[in-house]
Chains A and B, each alone.
Chain A
Amino acid sequence: MNPAIKINGIHKSFGNLHALKGIDLTIEQGEFFALLGPNGAGKSTLISILAGLIKPTAGDISVMGFDVVNQYQQARQLLGVVPQELVFDPFFNVREMLRFQAGYFGRGKENDAWVDEILEGLGLADKAHTNMRKLSGGMKRRALIAQALAHKPPVIVLDEPTAGVDVELRQMLWEFIKKLNREGHTIILTTHYLEEAEALCSRVGMMKQGEIVALDSTANLLNKFAGKKLRLTLGDVSLPNHIQSLLRHQEKGIFTFALTDMAQIEFVLSSLKVADIRVLDMHLSEADLEDVFLSLVGKAS
């Protein structure tokens, strides 16, 4: 079985800017994959190359075995991409747009049941005959996602689909996308909401300055990079030098430490006691993807 997406040594330069520096990545069919990274890391450039909107300087990408440049017709047929920008065609209503979009991919009336399913799944059914221009921002976002799904692609790429979207829609969207994933669709997601990636995706790739800096299952990344997060409210104090290195974040008298095991917790607390610093409040939690992300890509995001 061909991988859903195979990326081989992709480079992209815009003038002097080397935006992608040799990306290699394989995503198997049926995966729910997250591509994370700060703004400017190259995620959208990579997706644009995958979608055929940008040409790579070097390297190649295939979708289920079809090269996105030389076999672009087959590759695009298998691919549904949700663009990041909230774009729409003001001349048509939602259902018309979905029919057109499916039609470009050669699908006709036999596809109408699927269009109804998308409208239902994304909560757009009662807006089917509303002009795109008259939809609210959240509804436009749903319509944008619906358009990418209109031809029922087996590989779905969502570039920041929940940017500026309310909680209710996010829930609804993820339920629908999870259902598609269960039915066998491969999902690739870029997002700024790391908790989303953590909750949804089985595997994560992290990008920084045009390179992939981490690529592993979500569980492995969480285990590998950080164990526990200790948040202490100490007030306006200066920490003893030997625990400074464990400090990850400090703001308004609240100190957050990234620790690997329980012994380090004891160490921090006893050091504070020796220094005669009182703990006003304490909160201990498991590290999340955000901690992994921060430790890998720094605080640039």
Chain B
Amino acid sequence: MNNAKSTNVSEMSNSFRGPWTLLKKELLRFWRVAFQTVAAPVITALLYLLIFAHVLADHGQVYNGVPYTEFLVPGLIMMSVLQNAFANSSSSLIQSKVMGNLVFVLLTPLTHFQFFAAFLCAAIIRGLVVGLCIYLVAFCFVDIHIANPLLVVAFAFLGSALLGTFGIIAGIWADRFDQMAAFQNFVIMPLSFLSGVFYSIHSLPPFWQKMSHLNPFFYMIDGFRVGFFGKGDISPLISLSVVGGAFLVLALITLKMLKSGYKLRA
């Protein structure tokens, strides 16, 4: 009985190593395919920047003193941060579900909170890594200054957390790849494209301005942009509250889903 007893409850491992291992696995998972998960979104953002800047450079200034190309950069960075945070948790979960290997995690003593925290942190890190890479590359082409670094960090962090959480919900809910693709194409893409990445919502007709205020992506993009230029379409405090509140609500929903075992434990 000696060997068997060595796995005694009394020497049960420190509770930190379990979720840390899951986080490490999630990070390695995207890092192993960094060409697809980091390099590809950086190239895409850069293409957007080159094309839109070329086509719309004559558009003039969006805010006073901010040329269009400069205006575009933070929006593109934030859009990529959000999309990649979502992609990380959602694709990892749907792949593990379809492949069946999620069972290896479900069999462990990890709590629902630890599960959530690991997937969330991995999504945030992927989002931030992609964002940072785009910033560094864009820096070579465009002269960008950061007016308020704290706001930039806060929005990048909260935004990727919100979308990472949304990705976990989508990953738990979807049973097939086409359902996930629908989520991506019919929810994430329209919300991010209509959030004011490529324009200031003040250039929109009043009705669409109002509609934009219902889009949570708008607050993330605008708040992030305020961090760069010190000005935006609305107060960053409102944006922070909306994004922070939305994150809390989604996090609670996700934790409830995980605790109940929704779609994961029959």
Distance A77 CA – B18 CA, assembled complex (angstroms):
11
B contacts with A, residue count (CB < 8 A): 39
Determine, out of A31-39, A147-155, A251-259, the stretch whose residues face the partner at the interface. Answer: A147-155
Per-residue 0/1 for A72-94: is the Cβ within 8 Å of any B Cβ (1 yes, 0 no)? 11101111010101011111100
Cβ-based interface call for A127 (8 A)? no
**Given the complex of chains A and B, what is the CA–CA distance between A30 and B5 in angstroms?**
11
Chain A residues, Cβ within 8 Å of B18:
103-106
Contact between B266 and A54, CB atoms less than 8 A apart: yes
B25 close to chain A: CB less than 8 A? yes
The listed residue (B3, B25, B28, B101) touching A87 by CB distance below 8 A is B101
Q: Per DSSP, are chain A's interface residues mostly helix, strand or loop, or mixed?
A: loop
User: Which residues of the other chain, B, contact A108 by a CB distance below 8 angstroms?
Assistant: 17
Q: Are A104 and B99 in contact, CB atoms less than 8 angstroms apart?
A: no
Q: Which of A55, A78, A97, A103 has the most CB of B within 10 A?
A: A103
**Neighbouring B residues of A72 by C-beta, 8 Å:** 109
Contacts of B48 in A (CB 8 A): none
Enumerate A131-187 residues with CB–CB distance to B below 8 Å: 147-148, 151-154, 183-186
State whether A89 and B99 are in contact (beta carbons under 8 Å apart), knowing that A100-B21, A106-B12, A106-B15 are contacts in the complex.
Answer: yes
* Residue from the list B9, B99, B103, B111 in contact with A74, Cβ < 8 A: B9
Chain B minimum-CB-distance residue to A89: B101
The reply to whether the CB of B59 lies closer than 8 angstroms to some CB of chain A is no
Does any Cβ of A come within 8 Å of B64's Cβ? no
B32 contacts across to A, CB distance below 8 A: 91
Binary A-proximity of B120-161 (CB < 8 A = 1, otherwise 0):
000000000000000000000000000000000000000000
Q: At the interface, yes or no: B186 with Cβ under 8 Å from chain A?
A: no
Q: How far is the CB of A248 from chain B (nearest CB, A)?
A: 39
Interface size range on A against B: 35 or more
User: Across the interface, do A78 and B7 meet the contact criterion of CB distance under 8 Å?
Assistant: yes
A96 vs B99: C-alpha distance when bound (angstroms): 18
**Is B100 part of the contact surface with A, judged by Cβ < 8 Å?**
yes
Take A77-B9, A184-B1 as given contacts and tell me if A89 and B104 are in contact as well, using a CB distance cutoff of 8 Å.
yes
- From B3, B7, B22, B109, contact of A73 by CB (8 A): B109
Q: Nearest Cβ in chain A — how far from B88, in angstroms?
A: 13
Chain A residues whose C-beta falls within 8 Å of the C-beta of B103 in the assembled complex: 53, 83, 85, 87
Q: Within 8 Å of chain A (Cβ to Cβ): is B108?
A: yes
- Which residues from A are CB-within-8-Å of B203? none
| Contact between A103 and B20, CB atoms less than 8 A apart | yes
Whether B2 pairs with A52 at a CB distance below 8 angstroms is no
Q: Is B105 an interface residue (CB 8 A)?
A: yes
* Alpha-carbon separation in the docked complex, A74 to B9 (Å): 7
Contacts A53-B265, A106-B18 hold; do A77 and B4 have CB atoms under 8 A apart? no
- Tell me if B12 and A54 are in contact (CB < 8 A): no
Given contacts A104-B110, A105-B109, contact A55 B265 (CB under 8 A): yes
Which are the 7 A-B pairs with shortest beta-carbon distances?
A: A106-B13, A103-B21, A87-B100, A184-B1, A154-B4, A184-B4, A104-B108
A-B contact pairs, 25 of them (CB 8 A): A14-B266, A29-B1, A29-B4, A52-B107, A66-B9, A72-B109, A73-B12, A78-B9, A79-B107, A83-B103, A85-B100, A87-B99, A90-B99, A96-B28, A100-B24, A103-B17, A103-B24, A104-B109, A107-B17, A152-B3, A183-B1, A183-B3, A185-B3, A185-B4, A186-B4
